[in-house]
Structure 1
Amino acid sequence: MARIERRFVCQSCGTVTSRWHGRCDECGAWDSLVEETVAPKQTGAAAAARGRGRHIDLVGLTGSSTPPPRIGSGIEELDRALGGGLVPASVLLIGGDPGIGKSTLVLQAGAGLARAGRRVVYVTGEESIEQVRLRARRLGLVDSPMELAAENAVADILTTLSAGPVPDLLIVDSIQTMFTAGFDQAPGTVTQLRASTDALIRFAKSRHTAVLLVGHVTKEGQIAGPRVLEHMVDTVLYFEGERGHQFRILRAVKNRFGPANEIGVFEMQEGGLVPVANPSALFLAEREEGLAGSAVYAGIEGSRPVLLEIQALVGNVAPGSPRRAVVGWDSNRLAMLLAVLEARCGMELSGRDVYLNVAGGLRIVEPAADMAVAAALIGSLLDRSAPAKAAFFGEVGLGGEVRSVAQSELRIREAAKLGFTQVIGPMSVAGKSAGLETVPVRRVGDLMAMFSPSPVRPRPSRARAGAE
């Protein structure tokens, strides 16, 4: 009789080892190795017969190809993030923090498709039917003909769906609660995640059904389970935002049928998630003009221009290690920019507390925000306001030079549409007016001369005040 193999699999990265360790050698996660059993390998004639494959036909690059058809979800911002809508026979994975609104979004999308005459099946492995109905009643979706089921056995789900009309959309909430028979592991383990996702992918491709999977995330913000789960699906969406904030951002980090990094913006209200057609105006609605330490950043998220407020607060010199707190931006890039401002512009920042915030809950990833962050830091240190009705963008190098960024014209047009009269950026903005004034800057130190001409004496440090 063949011997059953036992192994230990990391639930964070999927690394397989023969012995248990308290810490994974690959990803460094503690207490993440779980014992799993593997069926014995076949040998002899059975293995040889199983190893034979079939002949496949090879084709060239030339030929006629049509773009994949799309199914509009009825939610404009969701369709925008997906690149135009749902694609039949595709598998989507949406992740986000607990309570961010993932179940609300997929329920609204499914109900809208069902109202449009599509067959939509919503399978929940976490909640009961009554809980889903209560959410639908709160969102005003009880009249939708969407079908519900509370089940976490993948085989039972697929058997039920194969017996009737093929659904246009299958929603599974969540993939971490699903299990496949034949494995001893609990739902949510690496083996169960792979097996359940693989079965759902094969169903989607064979029955031409769009499948939407909801996934949990870890404390680091990544979808729970191995990274191979994101490689298996066609589209990966992340739902970002703070639970105490009304804004939600749906970001496509992977999309085989459309552009990546495209975003959709929503506002959480009592009646559910409401798409935001003009996010720039919403992000700047509560901005106070003339405030020291505030600058407007003209950014690009996917193919959409977005204006955001960058807020900075530079404290007095204090004993001990200075504090650095960043919300919505890369802390390593802030450290680099602070070093550049101190070395190239003569600003004393090494001993001061620095706080940086991107208002609205959006996280910025492109380096074009360097100029706006530098303007906010300079304004806070000098206690002066930035130029009125001015927007900033541009990358700052280690030598203090301001480098060009992509899609400058799109940023300038968005600033002009929102009523700004001035854009301050790299030298490449010269001549790209779009009805407003463009101010090219060669070095980041040139920003200091652009602030309010009526200087206010900077707040003295504690050490300097004691000496006086």
Structure 2
Amino acid sequence: MAKNKTAYVCNECGQDFPRWQGQCSACNEWNTITEVRLGSSSAKRTHQFSGYAGQTSNQVQTLDQIDLSELPRIASSFGEFDRVLGGGIVPGSAILIGGHPGAGKSTLLLQTLCQLSESMNALYVTGEESLQQVAMRAHRLGLPTQKLRMLSETSVEAICDIALNEKPKIMVVDSIQVMHMADIQSSPGSVSQVRESASYLTRFAKQQGIAVIMVGHVTKDGSLAGPKVLEHCIDCSVMFEGDSDSRYRTLRSHKNRFGAINELGVFAMTERGLKEVANPSAIFLSREEASSGSLVMVVWEGTRPLLVELQVLVDNSAMANPRRVAVGMDANRLAMLLAVMHRHGGLQMSDQDVFVNVVGGVKVSETSADLTLLLAMVSSFRGEIMSPELVVFGEVGLSGEIRPVPNGQERLIEAAKHGFKRAIVPKANMPKKAPEGMEVIGVTKLAQALEAL
């Protein structure tokens, strides 16, 4: 009788080990190595695929001999979805969409495939829900259901066999955590099953030229469930985020071999499903009235500017160590900017609690929010209300200098479109001609920015 092979795999980095050990020597994480049964050594894969649409002979080529023609893309009927994917769905690509339960992953993909099935062959594979549940959702959303092919199956081999006969252009697998392979003895959702199922579907997508979209679960801390090797073998990893008490959802790419990873798509959940938000700045600027500590900044998301409101509350602390809380921003950068304000702005906040919040659940990672954060701190500390027509952006250095940020002209034009009349920006970002009706003030030092207020 054939002996089962066993390996030990790190859930964080995917490194293999011949025996168990407490710490992974590759990523230095503790207690992340789990036992994986690889199946019988005599087991052979009988499924071999052929006929990949873009397959070429295995020959060594020089760089100038490689075909540079643009990859054909499939429009998903959602402009925001296409933006995050880099312009559309690439045939033969493997895409992984993750998100919390109830975020709208299945709804987004069902809407997309129902629209695409009108013009091409599409297959929706569901392993978690019954076909009746999916059909009820489609009818509730008023989607065209005449041409979308449906399949309820959890065996990866069976799914690929049926897909070979159906020959779809695009296929959705919902979800990868419930899929299993016959020659892997562990239960569905385990490290070995998820890894082997994803690599099998990815190989099938490449060799058949079928775009495969896999749905993935997330863990309690919001990261994608399963081994990290799952993210390595796919072409694109997308996270669908949104709070349960908010009707807005954001779609952001974490890995994309066919486009940028800093694009942001915004959707609104309605009774008729997900709707695109063509102007996200409008929903993030829904201010009833101006208040102290509130200021608008212009951040750059992918290929477009986005106006976001930043709120800061500075209050006397009753604790020996005042609290520094940042929601939507890096807490370490907040501590650094507080030191810059003390040294070069002359304001001491060591006995104050500082709370920072980016309105709308947006996560700001770029440095253009530095100057906005400092000026909002001053406004809250002094209790002064700034003009609701003021917009600010700029990076602040440790010596108090105001550094320029990319795409300054485009940021000012976007702010002018939304009715802002005054802007405080780095002097290097001063335009040759200010947008009509806007006063632009260029500053080089933090002290100049405080005087401009």
User: Same fold by TM (over 0.5)?
Assistant: yes
Q: What SS does structure 2 have at the residue aligned with 1:6?
A: strand
Q: What SS does structure 1 have at the residue aligned with 2:431?
A: coil
More moved, 180-189 vs 370-379: 180-189
Change (3 A) 1:194 1:319: closer
Q: For each residue in 1:40-74, what CA deviation from the matched residue of structure 2 results, as whole angstroms up to 9, or x when unmatched?
A: 879xxxxxxxxxxx963323325652101111111
Q: For each residue in 1:116-154, what CA deviation from the matched residue of structure 2 results, as whole angstroms up to 9, or x when unmatched?
A: 322111112222222222222222226352122221110
Structure 2 residue 85 is matched with structure 1 residue 82: yes
Match of 2:47?
none
Distance 2:388 2:77 in 1: 39
Q: What SS does structure 2 have at the residue aligned with 1:197?
A: helix
* Aligned partners of 1:247 and 1:361 also within 8 Å: no
Match of 2:401?
401
Change (3 A) 1:245 1:89: same
Which amino acid in 2 is paired with 1:70? R
Q: What SS does structure 1 have at the residue aligned with 2:360?
A: coil
Q: For each residue in 1:334-367, what CA deviation from the matched residue of structure 2 results, as whole angstroms up to 9, or x when unmatched?
A: 1211221122212222222111111111111111
Distance 2:354 2:209 in 1: 53
Alignment of 1:102-251 (within 5 A): 102-114=105-117, 116-141=118-143, 143-164=145-166, 166-251=167-252
Distance 1:282 1:420 in 2: 16
Q: What SS does structure 1 have at the residue aligned with 2:129?
A: coil
Deviation at 1:295, TM superposition (A): 0.6
Distance 1:184 1:374 in 2: 57
* Aligned partners of 2:5 and 2:41 also within 8 Å: no
Match of 1:268?
269
Change (3 A) 1:168 1:41: closer
Q: For each residue in 1:289-339, what CA deviation from the matched residue of structure 2 results, as whole angstroms up to 9, or x when unmatched?
A: 431000101111000111000011111132232222222111221121122
Number of residues of Structure 1 aligned to a counterpart in Structure 2: 437
Match of 1:47?
none
Deviation at 1:399, TM superposition (A): 1.4
Change (3 A) 1:418 1:109: same
* Aligned partners of 1:298 and 1:411 also within 8 Å: yes
Structure 2 residue 376 is matched with structure 1 residue 373: no
Distance 2:215 2:372 in 1: 36
Distance 2:39 2:72 in 1: 41
* Aligned partners of 2:86 and 2:259 also within 8 Å: yes
Unaligned runs of 5+ in 2: 43-56
Q: For each residue in 1:60-95, what CA deviation from the matched residue of structure 2 results, as whole angstroms up to 9, or x when unmatched?
A: 325652101111111111112122211111111111
Match of 2:11?
11
Distance 1:257 1:122 in 2: 23
Change (3 A) 1:256 1:9: closer
Which amino acid in 1 is paired with 2:243? E
Distance 2:63 2:20 in 1: 48
Distance 2:314 2:431 in 1: 35
Alignment of 1:87-98 (within 5 A): 87-98=90-101
Change (3 A) 1:241 1:168: same
Which amino acid in 2 is paired with 1:133? A
Match of 2:450?
448
Which amino acid in 1 is paired with 2:343? A
Q: What SS does structure 2 have at the residue aligned with 1:449?
A: helix
Which amino acid in 1 is paired with 2:369? A
Match of 1:340?
340
Deviation at 1:407, TM superposition (A): 0.7
Q: What SS does structure 2 have at the residue aligned with 1:61?
A: helix
* Aligned partners of 1:292 and 1:386 also within 8 Å: yes
Q: What SS does structure 1 have at the residue aligned with 2:411?
A: helix
Unaligned runs of 5+ in 1: 43-53, 452-468
Distance 2:367 2:146 in 1: 44
* Aligned partners of 1:429 and 1:438 also within 8 Å: no
- Give RMSD over aligned pairs: 2.3
